[in-house]
Amino acid sequence: MVLPALLCVACNNSQKAQAVDVQEEDTVTYKINGNIIEIRSNDSISHRVDIISNDASAGLSESYSFIGKKAYLDVDSIIRCSARREELAYNFTRNTKLPLTVTIDNKTKVDFEYNYSPKPKEEGLYARLTSGKAGLLVKEGSIAPKIEDIRRWLYDTGNFLEDSDIELMYDIYKDLSYKKTNNYRPEDFSSIPTIKDFSEIRYRINTNMVADYYYLFATDNDNDLESFIRDAVSDNFAGASPTSGATFPCYRSKGKGGLLTMFLIGIDKKWNRQILPVGVVCIDNKPPYISTKNESYHETNSAGRYADALLGNNRIANNRAGLEASGKSVGSKLFGDTTYNDYKLSGFNITGVPNVDITENITVTGNEFRGNVAGFTIAFEKGVKSVTFAYKDAKHKVNLVNKKSPYTFNCYLPLNLGDNYIEITAEDKLGNSNERSEDVNDKFNSLYRATFYVKMVRTEDESSDININVNNNVDVTVW
């Protein structure tokens, strides 16, 4: 590890300077000032510095190198950057003094005693959701294991502590782990809920933010957030909560869905604002996406002859192109693939958020069509509630709750000779449906519907008479 890149940072936890004179050994000199060891060289070659705890149970062993005339070894920073925080926290629980040996170029040895004391934290803005449906966002610097994890580590390593000392060790571990950062990530990404909207959901927040008007707003881009704040000021703060202790509704732009970051916004009477990320939620406001599958099969008529039937794709290519043009993902489900997303919103770095596709996918395959009987197989994802097949005034709704995929069935549809167009729609368990409506979103929902085309013709029976009863054998063409 190159020394200057890490060790030229002033120590915020410096103790009183130890009265140590400059020591000389060949071309290297050093001087100790509190937790800082200043190392000087009379040449321009590479020098190696090793720092090791005399007590092996502390587990500290670090090596660095530097080239140049001067470098600063910040022991406090090295302690706090160590990957052996459990061992160090355990050691400081019993004794706040840690004897160290610093070796320069494997020949100059410096005896150093580090005295641990908690690092003062800057009191900054904080906000944490205490109720409501959301995955919590926390600052990376504030993330530490649970006290149960400390107990488990003590048990696994055979180290016993009284309960009061375990709590002390836990506090020391959190102090060693603390970093001032602007990075946030989900506290537990598997707890991120999927909801249809924010209606009837209210949130409570614990925060030290001081403002005259408070909002919760969920978004996925900065322009959307800025527009909301501008509209809030323009509307004279309509819908604002007057106190941070209030119960909050959460707002979002109309139609906004997918994985959204929730922000607490505070605005004073002079329009100054403060913003903090507090949570992540998945808004599923899109209906299931239906596609059809190409297959060939043969149907035997009464004469023993075979009539080929091609089950073709409806407008799936156009539908998928429309989805991609609208920015809708047709990829993996939430948590289905462990892929994560890092992004920046309002100056905050949000990391470790799982990618999400809020659409439930359905594939419909036609099986056999004989007169008024139509057979289908439905392959579906677990969020699908029902699929409806409609032909003219006839409808057949298939409830898929508690059914296993794929599901095969026959239904009554009064198909006619010639061209028949069967419309397929679906609804998910959150109530998102792509059935036809007067809603402004119906044009978009049409991308999720499917139309099954069936052409029914008469076939000859074994006596070469024309069978005019379409309830009997038919030749079927589907696309």
Contact between 407 and 378 under an 8 Å Cβ cutoff? The reply is yes
Backbone angles phi, psi at 405, to 5 degrees: -95, 140
Q: Is the peptide bond before 99 cis (omega within 30 degrees of 0)?
A: no
Q: What is the per-residue pLDDT for 307?
A: 24
Ordered by where they begin, the domains of the chain are: 3-82+95-115 (2.60.40), 190-283 (2.60.40), 289-478 (no CATH)
Question: What's the rounded Cα separation, in Å, for the pair 385 and 376?
Answer: 17
pLDDT per residue over 81-131, tens digit each? 888 888 999 999 999 999 988 888 888 888 888 999 887 766 678 899 999
What average pLDDT does the structure give for the chain? 75
Q: Return the pLDDT at 17.
A: 34
pLDDT digits (tens, 9 = 90+) for 446-465: 566 678 777 776 655 433 33
Does pLDDT of 380 surpass 80? yes
Predicted confidence (pLDDT) per residue in 411-423, tens digit: 888 888 888 888 8
Question: Closest Cα to residue 375, out of 422, 416, 334?
Answer: 422
pLDDT digits (tens, 9 = 90+) for 21-36: 444 445 778 888 888 8
Neighbouring CB atoms inside 10 A of 102's CB total 20
**Structure tokens given for 405:** 């995929």
31 forms beta bridges with 38
d(CA 345, CA 226) in angstroms, rounded, equals 11
On the question of pLDDT at 296 being above 70, the answer is no
Question: What distance, in Å, lies between the first and last C-alpha atoms of the chain?
Answer: 65
